[in-house]
Structure 1
Amino acid sequence: MRRILDIQKRLLPDLTDVLKKRYTILHHIAATGVVGRRALATHLELTERVLRAEVDFLKEQGLLETESSGMKLSEAGRKLLEDIEPIVKELLGLTDLEETLRARFSLRQVVIVPGDCDQSELTKKELGRAGAAALRKYASKGDVVAVAGGSTLAEVAHHLTPSAQMKGSLFVPARGGLGESVELQANSIASTMAKKTGGEYRLLHVPDHLGEEAYVSLMQDPNILEIVEVIRSARIVVHGIGDAMVMARRRKVDQRTIAELTAEGALAEAFGYYFDRSGKVVHKMPTVGLRLEDIQATETVIAVAGGKSKGEAIAAVMKFGHEDVLVIDEAAAVELLHHL
Structure 2
Amino acid sequence: MRTVLEIQRVLAPDVVDVLKKRYTILRHLRHAGAVGRRTLAAALGMSERVLRAETEFLKSQGLVDIETSGMRVSDAGISLLADMEPMMKEWFGLAELEDRLAAAFGLRQVVVVPGDADRDPLAKRELGKAGAAELTRAAAAMERADNEPLVVAITGGSTIVEVADHLSASQGLKGALFVPARGGLGERVELQSGTIASTMAKRTGGGYRLMHVPDDVGEEAIATLMSEPHIREVADIVRRARIAVHGIGEAYEMARRRRVDAETIQKLRTGGAVAESFGYYYNRAGEVVHRMPTVGLRLEDIQRMETVIAVAGGGSKAEAIAAVLKNGQEDVLITDEAAAMAMLQFSSLDAST
- Range class of TM-score, shorter chain: over 0.9
* CA–CA separation in structure 2 for the residues paired with 1:131 and 1:220: 35
Q: Give the residue type in structure 1 aligned to 2:270.
A: A
Partner of 1:316: 323
Which structure 1 segments of 5+ residues have no match? none
* CA–CA separation in structure 2 for the residues paired with 1:58 and 1:202: 47
Please say which of residues 105-114 and 139-148 is displaced more in the overlay: 139-148
Q: 1:234 aligns with which of 223, 235, 241?
A: 241
Aligned partners of 2:185 and 2:257 also within 8 Å: no
* CA–CA separation in structure 2 for the residues paired with 1:143 and 1:65: 43
Partner of 1:203: 210
Q: TM-score, normalised by structure 2?
A: 0.93
Partner of 2:86: 86
Partner of 1:63: 63
Find out whether 1:154 has 2:161 as its counterpart: yes
Q: Give the residue type in structure 1 aligned to 2:34.
A: V
Cα gap change, 1:61/1:164 in structure 2, threshold over 3 Å: closer, same or farther?
farther
Q: Give the residue type in structure 1 aligned to 2:110.
A: V
Report how far residue 233 of structure 1 moved. 0.7
The 5-angstrom pairing of residues 109-124 of structure 1 reads 109-124=109-124
Report how far residue 20 of structure 1 moved. 0.5
The 5-angstrom pairing of residues 319-330 of structure 1 reads 319-330=326-337
Q: TM-score, normalised by structure 1?
A: 0.96
Which structure 2 segments of 5+ residues have no match? 348-353
Aligned partners of 1:178 and 1:205 also within 8 Å: no
The 5-angstrom pairing of residues 22-171 of structure 1 reads 22-140=22-140, 142-171=149-178
The 5-angstrom pairing of residues 296-311 of structure 1 reads 296-311=303-318
* CA–CA separation in structure 1 for the residues paired with 2:343 and 2:210: 34
Aligned alpha-carbon RMSD (Å): 1.6
Report how far residue 67 of structure 1 moved. 4.7
Of all paired residues, the percent bearing the same amino acid is 62
Give the secondary structure class of the aligned counterpart of 2:43.
Answer: helix
Following TM superposition, the consecutive aligned residue runs of length 4 or more in structure 1 with deviations greater than 4 angstroms are none
Report how far residue 265 of structure 1 moved. 1.4
* CA–CA separation in structure 2 for the residues paired with 1:48 and 1:232: 53
Q: 1:275 aligns with which of 241, 265, 282?
A: 282
Cα gap change, 1:30/1:228 in structure 2, threshold over 3 Å: closer, same or farther?
same
Report how far residue 49 of structure 1 moved. 2.5
Partner of 1:250: 257
Q: Give the residue type in structure 1 aligned to 2:213.
A: V
Q: 2:268 aligns with which of 256, 261, 271?
A: 261
* Number of residue-to-residue matches in the alignment: 340
Give the secondary structure class of the aligned counterpart of 2:313.
Answer: coil
Aligned partners of 2:274 and 2:281 also within 8 Å: yes
* CA–CA separation in structure 2 for the residues paired with 1:331 and 1:46: 19
Aligned partners of 2:152 and 2:245 also within 8 Å: yes
Q: Give the residue type in structure 2 aligned to 1:70.
A: G
